[in-house]
Amino acid sequence: MCKTFTTLLFCRVLRLNENPLSSVLCHLPTILLFSDTMFGFSLFAEGAAGQGAPEPGIWTNLIFFLPLILIFMWFMMRPQQRQEEKRRKMIDSLNKNDAVMTVGGLIGTIHLIDKEHNEVVLKVDDGNGTKIRFVLDAIHAVLPKDKAV
């Protein structure tokens, strides 16, 4: 029979009272929730003289969490590094008269590139000859030649 609220709820949701394993399955949530370790089972056996087993220290828990943290960092940081590498290649391949769009949505043609000072001058209007100076990192994308000003 289910004795605690969590096991009672678990048994009613899954209707385990008809199952021969109901006593084990009903107590599973209680075992998992109120256990000393994070996995729901004791990692250490009881001592011979009736003394309790030593509590697992922080190092025991770190052994389990460290690989998870490393995998999480790998999957979060690697795509970002690839995207930054792709962006850096795009900025390095910019040439005069390329049509570009800035991060602010401004579309223009590159008039001058000064990689030493990390600047680019865009021509945004041919009629007036309007030119605007930006930092190279403000370039969002290179557009096809037919989109040029």
Q: What is the pLDDT of residue 89?
A: 94
pLDDT band at residue 72 using 50, 70 and 90 as cut-offs: confident
Can you name the residues that pair with 100 across neighbouring β-strands? 108, 142
Mean predicted confidence (pLDDT) in 77-91: 92
Task: Dump pLDDT digits (tens) for 39-66.
Answer: 444 444 444 445 566 666 777 777 888 8
Q: How far apart are CA 76 and CA 145, in angstroms?
A: 35
The pTM (predicted TM-score) of the whole model is 0.52
Q: For residue 134, is pLDDT > 70? A: yes
- Go through the domains of the chain in sequence order and give each one's CATH number: 1-40 (no CATH), 94-147 (2.30.30)
Q: How many CA atoms lie within 13 A of 91 on its CB side?
A: 19
Phi-psi region of 28 (alpha: psi -120 to 50; beta: other; left: phi over 0): alpha
